[in-house]
Structure 1
């Protein structure tokens, strides 16, 4: 039975590009894969035919020979034999399908496709939780932190090999870091068990780092905390993380900031809130009070006559600075009218007298009890 034209098998034109060719093969290979067509005895033959066609057309030299001589280019004694293609086994669909397998699943097999895996590995990123006061968050500060981490081994310069020797290419995976195994129609890649995926082995490991290329050490780092930081602010220190394995690049250090609660001020973004107690006399008669500000200063606030608990006043520009920006938040003053305690007999006497004389000076109380009386009358009715 004569072989079908390879372009016809794959359903593509002769001027097809590599991307379209692979896409066409992948689609048809998935359609006729024997594992998906167990009840179709012709599926395996069609799958082999597809793989043979793709294995030929994906190779530029084979494709050129096929375009010129057709199937005769690969027959024994044909033009292909003189050109170097004679005797090559076709139908090697496992090899052809592995290209598509790599394209579909390579990212899940732990490494780049089509190239040797580098022996060096990037170091891990590190996290450090730092607590700062609200005053430090307001003005910014500089802190020194001690970070336990891995640093490049000075004895072997990070190579992991002793005496200035160099790591050798792994004989099991030829430096790929991965080995392939045939499973039915699939070619499956696994991490090389000899080198652990590094692609290289060390014959004489460094006695200090035992071949890792890095050692544990505590480092002191100076960290600049900018003004305006909030809880959750993340500061990245590039290259200050864990040293890479066998000379690989260093990871980063991330500082996570936590601003401690303050005994006087409560923060809300760039604004501050401060609850200030005032006496009944000051709230009733009015007056001036001094309140603290986050910068350590004082501000004079005028209390209007008849102020009630919960009244708020704004001090503009007395809040927190914006992180890495221009502008300043405000400070909100909330009055808390304080009821006096531990009264003397004279004070109690004066308050009773004041109470008798102030029946018309409590509008909120009068309004409330009028509503209560109306409510009770309605219930009785």
Structure 2
């Protein structure tokens, strides 16, 4: 029976990303897990192993390249790079198997060491205040955990038998023309041992699907893309092997006032025309309370004021960033009749050539327009 295409097994396209592949694998594995198919356990086990095999190949960059080029044949004769896949040999394994068998050596002749559990990725969304100050978050994630009933061995009585197919070596010899090559035993998957009485809870897999709840300590100063590693909190390894790790990736939500650039914060501070013209002291928010900014007279819109040490304390260097406040002069709205009259009188004072000294940018703009038209006419 020919093997199905690995991409088809996981229901993904050949351009699938690493993150999309992981999601697809979890979905497929959960769907076909024997615990979720009590009425058809045997067929579910086959489908579950098929999903696992497909993911082990496609999640490894070198194996995936080999599979894309040669299909399943890449793993039948040791083509491609990397080990651990079904029938897969790296360069060292190929030479070890060939010369070990030709000259009677014992290279690569022992059972394979069980592979550690898969790493898990989790995206954690935080408010800016939480990221800056640090916090603790409780997260819940689905994962493969060690079966308590069999302590991860997969055996109901804890006993493992020597594989009769490979004699406990974990590998079998295949004749390929003039060469004799070794490959993992298909009966025990390279472990050298088999289970006579599979655990009824995990059906011999040694792992069960469950939702894990964890407390994650978020250090102060984390930013978008930072990853926090929780060692040993990934998926349980097969046959009692070590678990993988959990990587929590931080995503900081947009803030209504502040934007962050590295360890610095930025915000806009709206001021009235009268404050910009006459000068004033305005209060601005910071992540640690309020602060004052002295607005000098004749301040133009866009002027930036720096508040040293009011930014974010770096999670790495512990350096404190700054807060940059950009003054934004607002045009008044909803004027009362009295205010409108005063504005009209104020505007009337700018009549004539003397008004140029009060509006430096406007004068520059007018001169620029005049020069532009002069060049166009000439």
TM-score, normalisation: structure 1: 0.68
- Find the aligned partners of 1:199 and 1:346 in 2 and give their Cα distance: 95
For residue 147 of structure 1, report the CA deviation from its aligned partner.
2.5
Residue of structure 2 in register with 1:248 after alignment: 241
Whether contact under 8 Å (2:97, 2:181) holds in the other structure is: no
Q: Deviations over 1:69-118 (max 9, x none)?
A: xxxxxxxxxxxxxxxxxxxxxxxxxxxxx997337999xxxxx9524224
Residue of structure 1 in register with 2:206 after alignment: 213
- Find the aligned partners of 1:375 and 1:267 in 2 and give their Cα distance: 40
Q: Please, which of 336, 345, 361 is the counterpart of residue 337 of structure 2?
A: 345
Whether contact under 8 Å (1:121, 1:247) holds in the other structure is: no
Residue of structure 2 in register with 1:290 after alignment: 283
For residue 307 of structure 1, report the CA deviation from its aligned partner.
1.0
Q: Please, which of 287, 293, 312 is the counterpart of residue 304 of structure 2?
A: 312
How many residues get paired? Answer: 277
Whether contact under 8 Å (1:227, 1:324) holds in the other structure is: no
For residue 238 of structure 1, report the CA deviation from its aligned partner.
0.7
Q: Please, which of 116, 119, 124 is the counterpart of residue 125 of structure 1?
A: 119
Q: Please, which of 330, 346, 349 is the counterpart of residue 354 of structure 1?
A: 346
For residue 218 of structure 1, report the CA deviation from its aligned partner.
1.9
For residue 120 of structure 1, report the CA deviation from its aligned partner.
3.4
| C-alpha RMSD over aligned residues | 2.3
Give unpaired runs (5+ residues) of structure 1: 1-97, 107-111
1:176 pairs with 2:173 = no
- Find the aligned partners of 1:220 and 1:105 in 2 and give their Cα distance: 50
Whether contact under 8 Å (2:223, 2:251) holds in the other structure is: yes
- Find the aligned partners of 1:180 and 1:309 in 2 and give their Cα distance: 80
For residue 198 of structure 1, report the CA deviation from its aligned partner.
2.7
Residue of structure 1 in register with 2:143 after alignment: 149
Residue of structure 2 in register with 1:195 after alignment: 188
Whether contact under 8 Å (2:97, 2:108) holds in the other structure is: no
Q: Please, which of 214, 220, 231 is the counterpart of residue 224 of structure 2?
A: 231
Q: Deviations over 1:116-156 (max 9, x none)?
A: 22463311111111111110111100111123222222222
Q: Please, which of 271, 277, 282 is the counterpart of residue 278 of structure 1?
A: 271
- Find the aligned partners of 1:196 and 1:99 in 2 and give their Cα distance: 16
For residue 234 of structure 1, report the CA deviation from its aligned partner.
0.6
Report the more deviating stretch, 150-159 or 342-351. Answer: 342-351
- Find the aligned partners of 1:118 and 1:261 in 2 and give their Cα distance: 49
Residue of structure 2 in register with 1:260 after alignment: 253
> Per the alignment, do residues 325 and 248 of structure 1 end up closer, same or farther by CA in structure 2, a change over 3 Å counting?
same
For residue 328 of structure 1, report the CA deviation from its aligned partner.
0.4
Q: Which has the larger radius of gyration?
A: 1
Residue of structure 2 in register with 1:370 after alignment: 367
For residue 267 of structure 1, report the CA deviation from its aligned partner.
0.3
Whether contact under 8 Å (1:290, 1:301) holds in the other structure is: yes
Give unpaired runs (5+ residues) of structure 2: 1-91, 101-105
Q: Deviations over 1:238-292 (max 9, x none)?
A: 1111111111111111111111111000000000000111111101111010000
- Find the aligned partners of 2:286 and 2:98 in 1 and give their Cα distance: 62
- Find the aligned partners of 1:244 and 1:221 in 2 and give their Cα distance: 19
- Find the aligned partners of 2:338 and 2:247 in 1 and give their Cα distance: 64
- Find the aligned partners of 1:152 and 1:364 in 2 and give their Cα distance: 71
Whether contact under 8 Å (1:317, 1:328) holds in the other structure is: yes
Q: Please, which of 181, 186, 198 is the counterpart of residue 179 of structure 2?
A: 186
1:301 pairs with 2:290 = no
Whether contact under 8 Å (1:146, 1:218) holds in the other structure is: yes
